[in-house]
Amino acid sequence: MPNMKLIWKLAIPQICIVLCFGLISFAVINASFTNMREQYVKDVIESRFSFIMKEIEASAQQSVSETSVFVRLPVVIEAYELALSGNIDDPYSPESQAARDMLRAELAPMLDSYKEYMGKDLQLHFHLPNGYSLVRIWREFNTRIDGVWVDVSDDLRGYRPTVIDTNRTGQATTGLEPGSGGFAIRGVIPIIGPDGKQLGSAESLQDFNPILDAVTEEGKIYITLYANIELLEFSVELQDAEKYPPKGDFVRVVEAQDSSIEALITADFLTRGKEDIVYEDFGSMTLATFPLRDYKDNQVGVIVCAMDTTAVSTLTNAASLILALMLAAMAVVPIFALLLQQRRLVTRPLNTIKAKIQDIAEDRADLTEQVPSHQNDEIGELSRWFNTLTGKLDGILQEREAMLSKISDESEKFAAMAHWYESILDSIPFLVSVQDPEMNWTFVNAALEDVLGKKREDVIGLPCNSWGVSICDTDYCAISCAKRGQGKTFFTHENLSYQVDVEKLKDLHGQTVGFIEVIQDITKMEELAKQQAEARSASEAKSTFLATMSHEIRTPLNAIVGMTSIGTAAQDPERMKYCFTRIEDASKHLLGVINDILDMSKIEAGKFDLSLADFNFESMLRRVVGVMNFRLNEKNQAFDLFIDKTIPNNLFGDDMRLAQVITNLLSNAVKFTPEHGTIKLATRLIEEVDGVCLIRFTVTDTGIGISQDQQDRLFQSFQQADSNTTRKFGGTGLGLSISKSIVEMMDGEIWVDSELGKGSAFSFSVRVKRGKDKEEGLLPDNYRDSDNSLGNSLDVVGAQATKTDGILSNHRILLAEDVEINRDILLTLLEPTGLVIDCAVNGKEALRMFSESPDVYEMIFMDIRMPEMDGYEATRRIRALDTPNAQTVPIIAMTASIFREDIEKCLANGMNGHIGKPLDLNEVIQQLRHHLLKK
């Protein structure tokens, strides 16, 4: 069209002018940005060099500071005086060896406090005044104390100037120095004796390479280090000439990160960087050299910094281009104004036709109204054809309107009937759906809409199996059942149970045209039936448990009452001893039953908590096995113990509850294993993450075994394997349930592997933290990582705990107890120890007796519930006395209040420990040994 030709004739010259203007602007702007880029590169490189020099100075001062902490220790002076008393020219003289052992033993454990220093690797190096190395001590991060490495082979006289200067001048020497392994930053300090005489020197160092790494940025900044050959005659890098070939007077000691950069570095370029920073531009790469000087200001090398300027160049070029384009865009505006004027000659008539078409589409146009057609070009011809088309369309629409009027009347009748049926089906509380013969949905009611989570218009026409329930595409599908003449089926969906009633839909001729389903949710009915069954089962379990508890409590009570009567009437000492032994056994059994019931009650009340503290792992196992040893020997059973050597000796957790679980499993193993059987206890460290250890315990026996049905209910409350177990072996049925609760509170799990008649393996895992104490293992080394029968050897361990004859003679303690029989029991039990025991009948009297003789009593056993003044008040008043012994005398609670909150309350009121009643003689002796014999 002529209009478009005119537009192009005007636009092309303008476009050429804009392009020329943009190119000129780009050249001027780019030149300015190039100067800015060069200055930016220099600033970045010089900041890196400045950082290196500051880090050298800071590292040297830090080395001196850290070394000063150790050389001030008296053990250093003592060790040096010992070493200098011998032949110092012999590094392996007895005096040097003894001094070296002394320094290693005293200083190596202290390195843990400085493990973050020097990249988690602190090194101490002690030198004799003649330049020989006395001892070099360092420790890698997280190693054991016995992993300390010691080196005494160095003769530093020939090549360690810092050591030579410090030994000669008696002044600290700090700074950069080349050595046998490359460059290092050293801090050497003189060691001065009490008389002012210099005994030698000590140093710590930091590798220079991490400082270079700190200024390196992958993809941007690369650092390479060259050293003067004559100053590095001992450097190990010079031994590999092929890997680091010399370049003139220099040799590379730190490898470049990019081989292409190494090709740009020449000997001449290195020589030019001796005095100052020298730059050289290689296009996309800028190199700079910087002189490296040692602590005496001697130049020992050159640092080469290579900076990739590709990204900076790209950025400046992009900025130049953007500014140029912005200037060019300002010149384009006149062209757009001209083009807009020319386009309006074409778009105005086209917009008129467009508006008419839009009115027709939205059914609001007057088809008899025509658009203007004054032009004689293509636009005018298009307008005339459009007017002809609208005239014909008007006649067609009039005929269509008459036909739709008739259809509308019929549709209203059918719509009213459909709405009536739809309302009826929507009011039904059940799920209702209708399918055609091809099993596609034709209707779903409101209830089914809620279940599907979709509107009926979104599912109509979809296959009914798009619901995705379990019976779809199976023989139990409701429609498949209807075709077989079966009118009912069942299925589950999203943990709900449904019943489906289905019927065929037939037309007037009896032909099947679809299916209707009525779906009913029967979940609540099934749950009610299940709950009724569970209630009956729980009631039966409770009844069985109550009967068992009655039997378990009455049986030892009957034994206690009966044997007390027999023992009272007996005249024969052996007969009386027999009765007392049976009374003791029955009492312990009754105490165990009561403890299980109390623990289970606290678990169900949500008050069962853990008491966390540091404990020794092997000591806890020794206590458990020591308790079980008597029962093992009684049944002539072999016992094997395996301890994983990787398990830390010291852990942080509730050792009492952990021991309770192990004891429960071992007790069951002993109970259900016949005589001469074998029982094993194995421990394994599964993993350790951030100081938290996952430990697995496994108790294996050769007993009667457990069937699969019995295993399914084994860890439930009030349950045992079967009723015959209770009658034959006894027990409350609570032990495994309590153990399961304890294990789960320790973030673990418990399980069993067993086969009837072939023994059982009970396993559980718990997570506990590493402890802080450094107590060594208490069992012999051969009991770690090996199976050992401890049936005989642990007799000695148990005997040591109860052997009391004369062990505490000449020690005097105070007992505060208001019940006379309790005082008599403790006095009788401790009579063989040789202790001198004074008694107070209440807290008030105990306070008076201690106040009158505060230096006499070395320990106090304090009951809690006493008349006039209880144990808590008495303890607080004793601690408040103005005597030194009042703050330090051990006060141990001796009470029947044994819950965790009772123990915590005792400790909060100033007591040092807690012993529960009935008294365990081993526990009493252990407390006495701990507080009296350690002095």
- Asked whether the beta carbons of 875 and 862 are under 8 A apart, the reply is yes
Quickly tell me which residue has 């910094």 as its tokens.
Answer: 305
Give residue-wise pLDDT tens across range 590-604. 666 676 666 666 666
Q: Which residues contact 393 (CB under 8 A, 6 or more apart)?
A: 360, 367
Write down how long the chain is. 935
Distance of CA 720 to the CA centre of its chain: 37
Task: Give 104 or 770, the one with higher predicted confidence.
Answer: 770
Give residue-wise pLDDT tens across range 346-388. 666 767 777 767 777 777 666 677 777 666 766 677 777 767 7
Q: Which of 748, 792, 791 is nearest to 768 (CA)?
A: 748
With cut-offs at 50, 70 and 90, classify the pLDDT of residue 580. confident
Verdict on whether the full-model pTM lies above 0.75: no
| Residue 163, Cβ density class (10 Å: 0-12 exposed, 13-18 middle, ≥19 buried) | buried
| Whether pLDDT at 615 is above 80 | yes
The pLDDT score that the predictor gives to residue 266 is 79
| Whether pLDDT at 237 is above 80 | no
DSSP for 584-640, please give it.
HHHHHHHHHHHHHHHHHHHHHTT------EEEEHHHHHHHHHHHHHHHHHHTT-EEE
Averaged pLDDT of the chain: 76
Task: Give 14 or 358, the one with higher predicted confidence.
Answer: 358
The pLDDT score that the predictor gives to residue 290 is 83
Q: Which amino acid is at 926?
A: Q
Average pLDDT of the residues in 485-500: 79
CA atoms lying within 13 Å on the CB side of residue 282: 14
Secondary structure of residue 775 in the 3-state scheme = coil
The pLDDT score that the predictor gives to residue 687 is 94
Give residue-wise pLDDT tens across range 37-70. 667 777 777 787 888 888 888 878 877 877 887 7
Quickly tell me which residue has 């320790």 as its tokens.
Answer: 746
Bridge partners (DSSP) of residue 450 are none
Give residue-wise pLDDT tens across range 283-329. 777 888 888 888 887 888 888 888 777 666 666 666 656 765 665 56
Consecutive H or E run containing 75? helix 74-84
| Whether pLDDT at 148 is above 70 | no
The pLDDT score that the predictor gives to residue 727 is 43
Give residue-wise pLDDT tens across range 779-797. 444 444 444 444 433 433 3
Task: Give 105 or 620, the one with higher predicted confidence.
Answer: 620
The pLDDT score that the predictor gives to residue 777 is 44
| Whether pLDDT at 409 is above 70 | no
Sign of CA dihedral 170, 172, 176, 181: positive
Q: Which amino acid is at 430?
A: F
Percent of the chain with pLDDT over 90: 15
Secondary structure of residue 888 in the 3-state scheme = helix
The pLDDT score that the predictor gives to residue 144 is 39
Helix axes 2-71, 310-361, angle to 10 degrees: 140
DSSP for 475-521, please give it.
TT-HHHHHHTT--EEEEEETTEEEEEEEEEEE-TTS-EEEEEEEEEE
